[in-house]
Amino acid sequence: MLAIHNKVKEISGCKPGDIPALVLDSATPLILKGFALDWPLVQAGLQSAQQATDYLRSLYNGNPVFSAYGEPETQGRIYYNEDMTGFNCQGIKADLNVVLDKLLHHANDQKPPTIYVASAEVNNWLPGCNQQNSAGIEHLNPLTNIWIGNRSKIAAHYDFPNNLACCAVGKRRYTVFPPEQIANLYVGPMELSPGGQDISLVDFANPDFAKFPKFKQALEHAQVADLQPGDALFLPGMWWHHVEALTPFNVLITHWWRDSPAYMGRPENALKLAILSLRNLPTRQRQAWQAIFEHYIFNHQEGDLDHIPDAVKGMLAQPLDLNTAKKLRAELLNKLKV
């Protein structure tokens, strides 16, 4: 286990429907101790894994879930195969009851197979779960997903939306890094990754510092969040996080939401377009475009464009409205056809 001395700050007193704005606006991760302790799912899990699975079965509507299965040799690490052309786990559509049966069957194994249901939208498979186990943030219109499995290690990655991750059953450890540590995390390919999101190639259980020397610098900025049943972690968007499920049966419920309207699109699209059009330019041209991006995007300050009449600001107007966003998207699509 990595020796990380920095701990994510803990706060108490937050309950579903009663989270101070300063928490949800925080620029750094926060642990909400005991946040979901009164949830029926959490209470069932505190009784036993069997009670927790019985509760999930009572809500399940029968639609097949997408699950991952890995041989015992994977030791819970959801990752690539040896030559990074695929993955070390097999994706299977299955009845959730079968998955739960397998998890209980292998609960006492010394080297169990890796069994993992990832990012299943709660309302599509467990109607009523979100109402009975509410985080009380409906005003943010979050996407609520459930994660079910045994001991697992999910490689460090980032998500664009903010996340309120509630440890419902079992124990979890998050190791988090601020966004600027990307260069020290040795991120893998963008086109192919186990969960659809770029991941760090460092094995946190056995880091190879000869191969990944800058990872030592990342660890200086790392923080650890150890979650007990009922605890929640507020994770601001873009923070890198490595996630470990530490017990034979674990359930996590996540709530993702963004701070900007969906019509503005995903920033990853802008990154891909920049790779296409900017990355291979000569250094001096890239530096010139960097200055332009700094001016219009990253260091844009209120008042910078006051010299332009409001009526003709077009796409530079703040904030970008829906109609302007649609026109800009159409223009981009048309130009990308070339």
Per-residue DSSP letters for 98-163? Answer: HHHHHHHHTTT-SSPPEEEEEEEEHHHHSTTHHHHT--S-GGG--EEEEEEESSEEEEEE--SSEE
How do the pLDDT tens digits run along the chain, 338 residues long? Answer: 788 999 999 999 999 999 999 999 999 999 999 999 999 999 999 999 999 999 999 999 999 999 999 999 999 999 999 999 999 999 999 999 999 999 999 999 999 999 999 999 999 999 999 999 999 999 999 999 999 999 999 999 999 999 999 999 999 999 999 999 999 999 999 999 998 899 999 999 999 999 999 999 999 999 999 999 999 999 999 999 999 999 999 999 999 999 999 999 999 999 999 999 999 999 999 999 999 999 999 999 888 999 999 899 899 998 889 999 999 999 999 988 86
Residue 196 has a pLDDT of: 87
Beta carbons of 227 and 205 less than 8 angstroms apart = no
Beta carbons of 167 and 146 less than 8 angstroms apart = no
> Domains of the chain: which residue ranges?
9-257, 264-336
State the pairing for strand pair 30-32/9-11.
parallel
Residue 195 has a pLDDT of: 86
Residue 318 has a pLDDT of: 87
Residue 239 has a pLDDT of: 98
Q: Which residues contact 108 (CB under 8 A, 6 or more apart)?
A: 248
Q: What is the CATH number of domain 9-257?
A: 2.60.120.650
Alpha-carbon span 306 to 77, nearest angstrom:
53
Alpha-carbon span 19 to 41, nearest angstrom:
20
Residue 3 has a pLDDT of: 84
Confidence (pTM): 0.95
Residue 319 has a pLDDT of: 87
Beta carbons of 264 and 325 less than 8 angstroms apart = yes
What tokens does 260 get?
A: 């900007």
- Measured distance between the N- and C-terminal CA atoms of the chain, rounded to whole angstroms: 51
